[in-house]
């Protein structure tokens, strides 16, 4: 037990009623006790006996908490008593170094009746004396209650002084022994915890063990070990004491934990709510109340911070310098375990990822070790060869690939000897079910130091159906190849479909500005975005023609809502183009603009070309009209035009306006043309509802041949949206017709260009 630094007051000389021989006997009796508890137990018995009292108590001072505590007490009440070392009669005696004789306890203001109220005991009179060690330092107080025959006198106080001073000799011995034993137990517990933690390699259980160990070691309410995630610059914990399995993440520069991680210096906060760095929001969310905080950085063996340990609410007071030293020593011991577990966790995640990749592959993948023994085989490999796992794994390559399959083993041996990969195309592999045509790739497996670890075999089934599909996929959209393979037809097939054409505006100027390499890069970026929009709606890419895209919705494998799918894809292309252009502008590059045309009609799907080169595509008037509509976008100042045929087939409602009735080049029958406006925003088309109202009125007057009325309506539309190029075009057209009226007017405009 620690000593208290107290001033020794001058005490009056009192003559004890016990003889020196009796006092020596008390010392010897206390010294022979087995432990400090036993010595204190015997001492209170002796005090009650010699002072003829009902009960006695010896209080010892706990310097860490500033409390007086008693481990033993007479009577039925055996729980430890603790109180601040300046409260009560015992506290007064300890702090002043004076003895006290109190005839009426309840009449003395120093008396605390807490103990009486809890136990039912009635304190009448009190005799109290300070307890000193051999150096004369105050270490506690002795208290005797209720003299059985009369009142306590000065002689009783002198006897109490003499007994407690004599007893200090025996108590001192036990205190030293207890401190030694306590230190030994702490060291043993420390080594046991470190050993237990060091043996754990899984990060989750490891953090759980460390958190529990720290909480117990520092006698705290809660602990958390945060590990730094270098990829996200976050501190995270898999488990928090009292939080179950909830994962908590926070930036590694935020809060007290973030400060400790960044500065690499520990923080000891005795009163959390008085510290401006403390964020009480977590307490509000959980109902937990944080009083004190000890936060310590965790370093690896190179001195690099890898995390932070945070301990909350030391029981009995704030965290001490001894707590800081113990936590620092503990974290230095467990840091290697944390780093190893983190590395193991990363490796395990990588292994799980690789296993998932292998299991998701349609090709067979096998690996062998240095001795040619098969170590792994994925599910596709087992299925392809028609065998169970135990028939492949652990088998030698030379023993598994035999007879007609011996060529596989020969290739594996060659790769092992040369260290060079080998690829064999369209070779026969005998399986339990059939003979397959396969492509085999054998790769050497090497370690980080270029040491040979084994080989890897990848077997691709390119039997007749798969080979045909693979060949077709090289010159047509894979989805269309699937459809053709399912139908089994390569001849012409007539079908209703919606055709989509798109083309970049001003592409020639862009190519001159960007050059060959820049143009290819731009097209690759643009096509990647646009094709994703088409395929996400079930469309099939037919071809790229320079900077133009041709896609089809319908055909051999049609959907009931193909026109809607095509229009949704076109709208998505417009929306994604806006996002793409915003990114280009942010990078200092020019935006890209395009036009889109849609038409729904009967087309013919067929395998066209010569016997030496074929192209599976679609042809027909429906394709030509879609192409003409895409070109017409420039004339109408539009970006998305659809034919009347597509408009009639739409099931959903879209924001459209009829812009013309035209006869496209090469056709004789007029086609209604509609502009779709759903992709516009209030910024790109202001006052849309009112402007469209005037525009529609203008078109009706235009078809009726009322040029002046139409011009007025189109001007009204332009006042609401000055950027409406289509309305401006109609003003010019009406002015032209007004100046040179046609002999016969039916509202149909003949397009003279493609």
The Cβ-side half-sphere exposure at 382, using a 13 Å CA radius, reads 13
Report the alpha-carbon distance of residue 673 to residue 660 in Å, rounded: 5
Residue 382 has pLDDT above 60, yes or no: yes
- More confident of the two residues 735 and 44: 735
Tens digits of per-residue pLDDT, 46-66?
888 888 888 888 888 887 778
Task: Assign 618 a pLDDT band (cuts: 50, 70, 90).
Answer: confident
Can you give the C-alpha Rg of the chain in angstroms?
A: 46
Check residue 43 and give its pLDDT: 77
Cα separations in angstroms, 378 against 385, 413, 428: 11, 21, 20
Give me the chain's average pLDDT, please.
Answer: 80
| Contacts with 400 (C-beta within 8 Å, 6 or more apart), sequence order | 374, 391, 392, 409
Give the residue-averaged pLDDT of 732-736: 92
DSSP state of 373: B
Higher-confidence position of 210 and 543:
543
> In which region does residue 341 sit, left (phi positive, over 0), alpha (psi from -120 to 50) or beta (all else)?
alpha
The model's confidence at residue 750, banded by pLDDT at 50, 70 and 90, is: confident
Same fold, 200-352 and 364-462: yes
Return the minimum-mean-pLDDT range out of 14-28, 64-78, 162-176, 213-227.
Answer: 14-28
Highest mean pLDDT: which range of 163-167, 248-252, 675-679: 675-679
Q: 3-state DSSP call for residue 82?
A: strand
- Give the per-residue pLDDT at 566: 93
Q: How far apart are CA 208 and CA 240, in angstroms?
A: 8
pLDDT of 22 reads: 57
CATH 3.30.450.40 fits 200-352, yes or no: yes
User: What integer pLDDT is reported at residue 118 of this predicted model?
Assistant: 79
Rounded CA gap, 199 and 381, in Å?
A: 37
Sheet strands (E) in 321-369: 364-368
**What are the residue ranges spanned by the domains of the chain?**
20-182, 200-352, 364-462, 478-678, 680-744
User: Is the model's pLDDT at 325 over the cut of 50?
Assistant: yes
Choose the weakest-confidence range: 194-198, 401-405, 407-411, 542-546: 194-198
20-182 fold: Beta-Lactamase (3.30.450)
The average pLDDT across 492-500 equals 84
Q: What are phi and psi of 89, to 5 degrees?
A: -65, -40
Q: Which residue has the tokens 């055996």?
A: 78
CATH class of segment(s) 478-678: alpha beta
| pLDDT tens-place string over residues 414-455 | 998 888 889 888 888 888 867 888 888 999 988 777 788 889
Which range of 67-71, 135-139, 367-371 scores highest in mean pLDDT? It is 367-371
For residue 243, what pLDDT band results from cuts at 50, 70 and 90? very low
- Say what the pLDDT of residue 725 is: 93
Is pLDDT larger for residue 207 or for residue 91?
91
Q: Is 50 exceeded by the pLDDT of residue 480?
A: yes
When pLDDT is cut at 50, 70 and 90, the band that residue 12 belongs to is very low
Residues 6+ apart with CB under 8 A from 204: 238, 239
N-term to C-term CA, the chain? 102
Q: How far apart are CA 617 and CA 460, in angstroms?
A: 29
CA 466 – CA 477 distance, rounded (Å):
15
Residue pair 734/714 in contact (Cβ under 8 Å)? The answer is: yes
Helix (H, G, I), strand (E, B) or coil at 197: helix
Higher pLDDT, 103 or 136: 103
Q: Please indicate whether residue 706 or residue 23 has the higher confidence score (pLDDT).
A: 706
Residue with tokens 């292994």: 351
What's the Cα-to-Cα distance from 233 to each of 236, 260, 261, 308, 662, rounded to whole Å? 10, 14, 11, 13, 61
Q: What are the φ and ψ backbone dihedral angles of 547, each rounded to 5 degrees?
A: -100, 5
- CA pair distance 507, 529, nearest whole angstrom: 17
Q: Is the pLDDT of residue 327 over 50?
A: yes
Instruction: Tell me the average pLDDT across 525-538.
Output: 90
Confidence of residue 10 (pLDDT cuts 50, 70, 90): very low
Q: What is the pLDDT of residues 357-379, one digit of tens each?
A: 666 677 888 889 988 898 888 88
Is residue 505's pLDDT more than 60? Answer: yes
CA-CA distance, 568 to 140, in Å (whole number)? 86
Strand partners, 366: 377, 457
pLDDT of residue 697: 94
Q: Is 65 helix (H, G, I), strand (E, B) or coil?
A: coil
Per DSSP, the three-state class of 499 is strand
Residue with tokens 């989509």: 500
Give domain 364-462's CATH superfamily. PAS domain (3.30.450.20)
Query: CA 109, CA 203: separation in Å to the nearest integer?
Result: 58
Global pTM? 0.41
Strand partners, 356: none
Q: d(Cα 735, Cα 707) in Å, to the nearest integer?
A: 7
Q: What is the pLDDT of residue 389?
A: 78
Given a cut of 60, whether residue 120 has pLDDT beyond it is: yes
Query: Between the CA atoms of 45, 149, 99 and 128, what dihedral angle is there, to the nearest 10 degrees?
Result: 40
- SS3 (DSSP) at 492: coil
């Amino acid at each position: 037990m620690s000593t208290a630094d107290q001033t020794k007051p001058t005490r009056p000389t009192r003559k004890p009623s016990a003889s020196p021989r009796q006092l020596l006997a008390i010392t010897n009796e206390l010294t022979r006790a087995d432990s400090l508890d036993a010595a204190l137990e015997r001492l209170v018995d002796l005090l009650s006996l010699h002072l003829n009292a009902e009960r006695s108590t010896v209080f010892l001072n706990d310097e860490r908490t500033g409390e007086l505590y008693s481990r033993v007490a007479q009577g039925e009440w055996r729980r430890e008593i603790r109180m601040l070392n300046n409260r009560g009669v015992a506290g007064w005696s300890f702090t002043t170094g004076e003895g006290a004789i109190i005839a009426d306890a309840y009449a003395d203001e120093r008396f605390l009746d807490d103990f009486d109220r809890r136990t039912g005991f009635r304190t009448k009179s009190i005799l109290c004396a300070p307890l000193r060690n051999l150096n004369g330092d105050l270490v506690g107080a002795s208290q005797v209650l209720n003299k059985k025959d009369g009142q306590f006198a000065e002689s009783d106080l002198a006897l109490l002084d003499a007994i407690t001073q004599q007893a200090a000799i025996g108590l001192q011995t036990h205190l030293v022994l207890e401190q030694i034993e306590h230190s030994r137990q702490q060291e043993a517990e420390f080594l046991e915890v470190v050993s237990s933690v060091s043996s754990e390699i899984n990060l989750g259980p490891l953090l759980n063990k460390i958190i529990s160990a720290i909480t117990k070691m520092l006698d705290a309410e809660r602990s958390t070990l945060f590990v730094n995630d270098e990829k996200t610059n976050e501190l995270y914990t898999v488990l928090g004491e009292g939080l179950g399995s909830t994962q908590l993440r926070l930036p590694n520069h935020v809060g007290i934990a973030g400060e400790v991680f960044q500065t690499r210096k520990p923080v000891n906060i005795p009163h959390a709510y008085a510290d401006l760095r403390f964020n009480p929001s977590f307490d509000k969310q959980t109902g937990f109340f944080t009083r004190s905080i000890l936060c310590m950085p965790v370093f690896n063996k190179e001195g690099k911070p890898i995390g932070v340990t945070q301990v909350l609410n030391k029981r009995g007071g704030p965290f001490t310098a001894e707590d800081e030293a113990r936590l620092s020593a503990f974290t230095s011991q467990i840091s290697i375990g944390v780093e190893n577990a983190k590395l193991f966790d990363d490796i395990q995640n990588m292994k799980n990822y690789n296993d998932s990749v292998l299991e998701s592959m349609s090709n067979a993948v096998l690996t062998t070790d240095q001795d040619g023994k098969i170590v792994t085989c994925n599910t596709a490999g087992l299925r392809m060869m028609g065998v169970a796992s135990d028939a492949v794994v652990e088998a030698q390559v030379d023993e598994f690939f035999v007879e007609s399959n011996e060529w596989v083993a020969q290739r594996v041996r060659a790769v092992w000897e040369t260290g060079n990969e080998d690829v064999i195309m369209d070779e026969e592999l005998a399986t339990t079910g059939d003979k397959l045509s396969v492509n085999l790739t054998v790769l050497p497996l090497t370690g980080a130091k270029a040491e040979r670890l084994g080989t890897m075999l990848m077997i691709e089934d390119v039997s007749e159906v798969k080979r045909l599909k693979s060949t077709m996929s090289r010159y047509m959209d894979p989805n269309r190849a699937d459809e053709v393979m399912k139908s089994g037809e390569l001849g012409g097939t007539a079908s209703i479909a919606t055709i989509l054409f798109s083309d970049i505006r001003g592409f020639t100027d862009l190519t001159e500005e960007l050059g060959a390499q820049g143009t290819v890069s731009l097209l690759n970026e643009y096509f990647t975005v646009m094709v994703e929009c088409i395929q996400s709606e079930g469309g099939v890419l037919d071809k790229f023609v320079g900077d133009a895209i041709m896609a089809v919705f319908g055909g051999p494998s049609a959907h009931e809502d193909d026109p809607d799918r095509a229009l949704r894809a076109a709208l998505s292309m417009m929306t994604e183009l806006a996002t793409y252009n915003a990114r280009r502008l942010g990078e200092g590059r020019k935006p890209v603009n395009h036009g889109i045309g849609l038409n729904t009609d009967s087309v013919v799907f067929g395998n066209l070309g010569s016997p030496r080169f074929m192209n599976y595509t679609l042809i027909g008037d429906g394709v030509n009209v879609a192409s003409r509509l895409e070109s017409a976008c420039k004339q109408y100042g539009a970006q998305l035009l659809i034919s009347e045929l597509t408009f009639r087939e739409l099931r959903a409602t879209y924001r459209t306006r009829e812009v013309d009735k035209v006869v496209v080049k090469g056709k004789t029958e007029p086609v209604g043309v509609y502009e779709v406006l759903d992709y516009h925003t209030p910024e790109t088309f202001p006052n849309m509802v009112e402007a469209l109202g005037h525009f529609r009125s203008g078109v009706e007057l235009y078809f009726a041949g009322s040029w002046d009325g139409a011009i007025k309506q189109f001007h009204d539309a332009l006042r609401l949206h000055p950027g409406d190029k289509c309305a401006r075009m109609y003003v010019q057209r009406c002015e032209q017709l007004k100046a040179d009226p046609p002999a016969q007017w039916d509202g149909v405009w003949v397009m003279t260009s493609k």
